[in-house]
Amino acid sequence: MTARAGDGRGARRPAAVVPLVRAAALCTAVLALLWTARHGPAAPGTALAFGLLTAAGELARRPAGSGAPYPLHEPLGREPAPLGAAGALAYALLAGSTGESAARGTLQAVAVVLAAVLVGAVPQAARGEPGVLDHAARRVLTTAFAGVCCAALPTAGEFVRTLGHGPAPALPVLLVAGLTVLCDAVLAAAFLRARAGGPYAPVLREELRALGGTGAAVGAAAAVLALATGAAGLWALPVFCLPLLGTRLSFRRCAAARTTYRQTVASLARATEIGGHTPAGHARRVAELSLAVGRELRLPGHELAALEYAALMHDIGQLSLVDPVPGGATVLLPHDEQRRIARLGGAVVRRTGVPAEVAAVVEQQADPYREQCPAARIVRAANAYEDLSRGSGGSADGALAALEQLRLGTGRDFAPEVVESLVRVLGEAAGAGGRR
């Protein structure tokens, strides 16, 4: 109990910091708007160009979710508007590096970026998507951070005049861009944890892991846009935005393919519920619990995606049964019957076009845990806990009894480290529920 209490205190800290972060973003935004309204914009053409670029990128941002009835695994707070992020960061770098005072340049950059983000947020707000204000707060704080850091570095303010004398003047701009992307990842993890609950450390680890992908692209593009605009003027914006637009089209195609996967997975997950083989919401609960355990055990992002797909479809083999299992609780069946259902489920999944690793996880559900992959171990434990605790109506005694049965099965059926992770996740969730 002592260890879990310590974990609970550690998990409360990010949640307690988020209101302060939001307040800081609000104060910064108000100060920037008042300052800019009083003193007027410097270089209004540049401000307008970057504002339009950022607004266009925000308007084209990837919607939250894809219309699927289940919250299938997304890369958490991954940048939904890379073009908007690059435009905002580039303007902050430029405003802090062109000889203007730190206060004037940074505050104007914050005001311009805030206006652009608010324009871009109108469609998202109309759709009722969550996190719109937190997204704006991230943009405000990262813009202010980049502007202040860039203005504070001794050589950054000279890169426009000394760009032709070697790469050294550009290095501070690249450094600030990298630090800003890192800052944005920390903020994204904090906001997501406050909204969705669960431990903060696994969410932050996954955000930091993704910096080698979209984060690196945003930082590099922003630095190039700032340097090119400072050297060649505003004509550099359309020229250097073309590669970003091409990248954006590629992302959209990948998103369309993922949407097809989601629709397939969601349909299969609901089929067992509609057919009366499993209780309503069972697949979703198992998927959410599996994801929480997977993050706690530090599974990488691609394994988390396969984990959730498999968790949603883990009971698909029950569709082959003439007589449904009472309550869909396959954990109570003999091992041979469990294995037959798992093999049938894997065969169905392999015919859907979902990646083969997902089918492998489904097929391994009834195998001894030493023969299972990590994702299969997690899904089996989460499903068993859901089956065993369902009859207790969510009571604490029923949950404890289910966990005790899982611990008794660690000799063959359930991996000990997965069961202990499940205990920690459930304790964390209970603590968060108590606090709310």
Q: Within a domain: residue 267? A: no
Whether residue 247 is found in the same domain as residue 310:
no
Lowest mean pLDDT among 50-54, 212-216, 289-293, 391-395: 391-395
Band (418; pLDDT cuts 50, 70, 90)? very high
Residue 182: what residue type? L
Whether residue 294 is found in the same domain as residue 253:
no
Higher pLDDT, 143 or 389: 143
For residues 366-382, average pLDDT: 90
Band (144; pLDDT cuts 50, 70, 90)? very high
Q: What is the mean pLDDT of the chain?
A: 78
The 3-state secondary structure of 282-311, one letter per residue = HHHHHHHHHHHHHHHCCCCHHHHHHHHHHH
Residue 340: what residue type? R
Q: Within a domain: residue 189? A: yes
Higher pLDDT, 167 or 408: 408
Whether residue 429 is found in the same domain as residue 303:
yes
The SS3 assignment for 151 reads helix
Q: Within a domain: residue 95? A: yes
- CA 399 from chain centre, in angstroms, equals 29
Whether residue 301 is found in the same domain as residue 192:
no
The SS3 assignment for 155 reads coil
Tokens of 269: 């997950």
Q: Within a domain: residue 4? A: no
Question: What is the reported pLDDT for 194?
Answer: 79
Q: Within a domain: residue 32? A: yes
Question: Range of 166's domain?
Answer: 11-259
Whether residue 28 is found in the same domain as residue 96:
yes
Structural domain count of the chain: 2
Question: What is the reported pLDDT for 104?
Answer: 74
Whether residue 99 is found in the same domain as residue 187:
yes
User: Which CATH number goes with the domain that contains 318?
Assistant: 1.10.3210.10
- Nearest-angstrom CA–CA distance, 330 and 281: 16
| pLDDT tens digits along 90-106 | 998 887 665 455 567 88
Whether residue 241 is found in the same domain as residue 293:
no
Domain end, chosen from 259, 287, 304, is at 259
Whether residue 186 is found in the same domain as residue 329:
no
Whether residue 244 is found in the same domain as residue 283:
no
Whether residue 325 is found in the same domain as residue 418:
yes
For residues 302-322, average pLDDT: 84
Whether residue 209 is found in the same domain as residue 297:
no
Domain end, chosen from 259, 290, 317, is at 259
Whether residue 27 is found in the same domain as residue 102:
yes
Question: What is the reported pLDDT for 157?
Answer: 47
Band (273; pLDDT cuts 50, 70, 90)? confident
Higher pLDDT, 143 or 230: 143
Domain end, chosen from 235, 259, 283, is at 259
Q: Are 325 and 343 in contact (CB under 8 A)?
A: no
Q: Within a domain: residue 22? A: yes
Residue 425 pLDDT > 80, yes or no?
yes
Q: Within a domain: residue 399? A: yes
| pLDDT tens digits along 325-358 | 777 677 778 888 888 888 888 888 888 777 788 8
